[in-house]
């Protein structure tokens, strides 16, 4: 009979009857399954250990080894324990069937079987295997992600029992990773951590909001985050991620110290720049002093004092006949007009001299104020 084809799955049929094996092979291959046949329990175990399958259809009563013993060895082997087992039996002893179910068999069907019932139960077993594989794959991926974290990571349920964790968490807690699952987090946490985490975990479970905080234990600084885990719109647990940030904190402190030193250095550089400006201003002032003193000397020479001296010498030389000299001598005739003109310009030149002298004095005073080595001077009596 041909029924609805299931997605391809691998089956192992274990029965010591050639007739039963042949009948099951025809039925299952006709419905799209990949079927392997074994005539004994020992052969089936050897075959399973070399190449596991999706579902085992196992006869309970066989000559070399009872199906119950095959089942017991399968469930004791971690590589085979998750393979679903469908029991085929003519045994009407319900106690034996219940014992096999308690041992880990997923279902059973009594010979002679109904093909539709058998195929229906087989499809259910295949779906179960697919779900188990997907769950294991997801768990393996989640575990790989947890182990890839450099932080310590732990997942707990509402009662505080550990559902998952990574190697960093196991190392920190001093436990084997396989031994952590199912234990209460409070039983493996050091006391200071328990006192710190306990109230905050309760806060996350009650509020549904994440919490983040820093904590210090034994001179080590940790950045810890707690996240609510939702399931069916309910808070089902809490994810804990804790990162040892001691080195980062030390680096931040060193960076702050370096920044402080840079600021101090920049301040010193600013003072040096100000001193440079002062010296530049002093240089400018001294230049002005030099220019002003040169102007004073120049103006002193142009005040007419030399002309007045020469005029006095002429007058002294010709004082005995000064009138004749001023009227008859070519140079003497210019002497009266020269003296008149000189008398007119003397006040103006005197004022110019005073102005330049004052400017020079101010420049000297300014340079004294700018100089970092200036000292107060005593007044010179007039």
Q: What pLDDT score does 178 carry?
A: 81
Distance CA 57, CA 87 (A): 6
CB contact at 8 A, 80 and 49: yes
List, for residues 306-338, the tens digit of each pLDDT value. Answer: 666 676 777 777 777 766 767 777 777 776 776
CATH entry 3.40.50.2300 includes domain 10-143:
yes
Q: What pLDDT score does 148 carry?
A: 58
List, for residues 268-304, the tens digit of each pLDDT value. Answer: 776 666 666 655 665 565 455 455 445 545 554 554 5
Distance CA 381, CA 24 (A): 137
Q: What are the backbone dihedrals phi and psi of residue 31, each rounded to the nearest 5 degrees, phi first?
A: -105, 20
Terminal Cα-to-Cα distance of the chain (whole angstroms): 141
- pLDDT under 70: residue ranges of the chain: 1-7, 91-93, 138-150, 270-309, 311, 322-323, 325, 335, 338-382
Distance CA 6, CA 23 (A): 18
Cα 297 from chain centre: 75
Residue with tokens 């106690």: 95
On the CB side of 199, how many CA atoms lie within 13 Å of its CA?
Answer: 4
CA angle 376, 377, 381 (to 5 degrees): 150
How many other C-beta atoms lie within 10 A of the C-beta of residue 200? 17
The alpha carbon torsion through 108, 109, 111, 113 (nearest 10 deg) reads -150
Q: What pLDDT score does 48 carry?
A: 94
Q: What pLDDT score does 297 carry?
A: 52
Sign of CA dihedral 251, 252, 255, 257: negative
Burial class (CB in 10 A: 0-12, 13-18, 19+), 188: buried
CB contact at 8 A, 242 and 224: yes
Distance CA 276, CA 31 (A): 98
CB contact at 8 A, 313 and 332: no
The pair of three-digit structure tokens given for residue 51, joined into one six-digit string: 């190449």
- pTM score, two decimals? 0.46
Q: What pLDDT score does 243 carry?
A: 86
How many other C-beta atoms lie within 10 A of the C-beta of residue 175? 15
Distance CA 66, CA 289 (A): 123
CB contact at 8 A, 226 and 201: yes
> CATH classification of 149-244, choosing from 3.90.380.10, 3.10.20.30, 3.40.50.620, 3.30.450.20?
3.30.450.20
């Amino acid at each position: 009979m041909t029924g609805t084809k299931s997605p391809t799955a691998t089956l192992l049929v274990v029965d010591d009857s050639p007739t039963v094996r042949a009948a099951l092979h025809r039925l299952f291959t006709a419905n799209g399954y990949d079927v392997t046949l074994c005539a004994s329990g020992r052969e089936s175990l050897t075959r399973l250990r070399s190449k596991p399958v999706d579902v085992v259809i196992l006869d309970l009563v066989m000559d070399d080894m009872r199906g119950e013993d095959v089942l017991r060895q399968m469930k004791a082997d971690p590589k085979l324990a998750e393979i679903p087992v469908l029991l085929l039996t003519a045994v009407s002893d319900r106690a034996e069937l219940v014992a096999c179910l308690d041992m880990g068999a997923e279902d059973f069907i009594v010979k002679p079987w109904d093909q539709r019932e058998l195929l229906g139960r087989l499809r259910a077993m295949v779906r179960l295997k697919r779900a188990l594989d997907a769950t294991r794959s997801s768990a393996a991926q989640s575990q790989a992600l947890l182990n890839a974290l450099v932080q310590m990571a732990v997942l707990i349920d509402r009662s505080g029992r550990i559902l998952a964790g990574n190697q960093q968490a196991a190392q920190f807690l001093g436990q084997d990773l396989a031994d952590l699952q199912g234990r209460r987090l409070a039983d493996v946490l050091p006391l200071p951590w328990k006192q710190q985490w306990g109230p905050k975990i309760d806060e996350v479970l009650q509020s549904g909001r994440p919490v983040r905080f820093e904590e210090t234990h034994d001179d080590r600084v940790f950045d810890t985050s707690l996240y609510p885990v939702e399931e069916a719109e309910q808070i089902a647990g809490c994810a804990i991620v804790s990162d040892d940030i001691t080195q980062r904190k030390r680096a931040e402190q060193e960076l702050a110290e370096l920044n402080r030193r840079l600021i101090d250095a920049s301040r010193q550089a600013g003072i040096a720049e100000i001193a440079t400006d002062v010296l530049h201003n002093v240089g400018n002032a001294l230049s002005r002093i030099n220019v002003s003193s040169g102007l004073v000397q120049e103006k002193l020479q142009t005040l007419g004092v030399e002309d007045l001296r020469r005029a006095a010498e002429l007058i002294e030389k010709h004082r005995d006949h000064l009138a004749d000299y001023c009227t008859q001598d070519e140079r003497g005739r210019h002497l009266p007009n020269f003296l008149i003109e000189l008398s007119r310009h003397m006040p103006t030149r005197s004022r110019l001299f005073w102005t330049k002298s004052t400017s020079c004095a101010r420049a000297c005073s300014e340079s004294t104020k700018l100089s970092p080595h200036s000292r107060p001077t005593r007044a010179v009596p007039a």
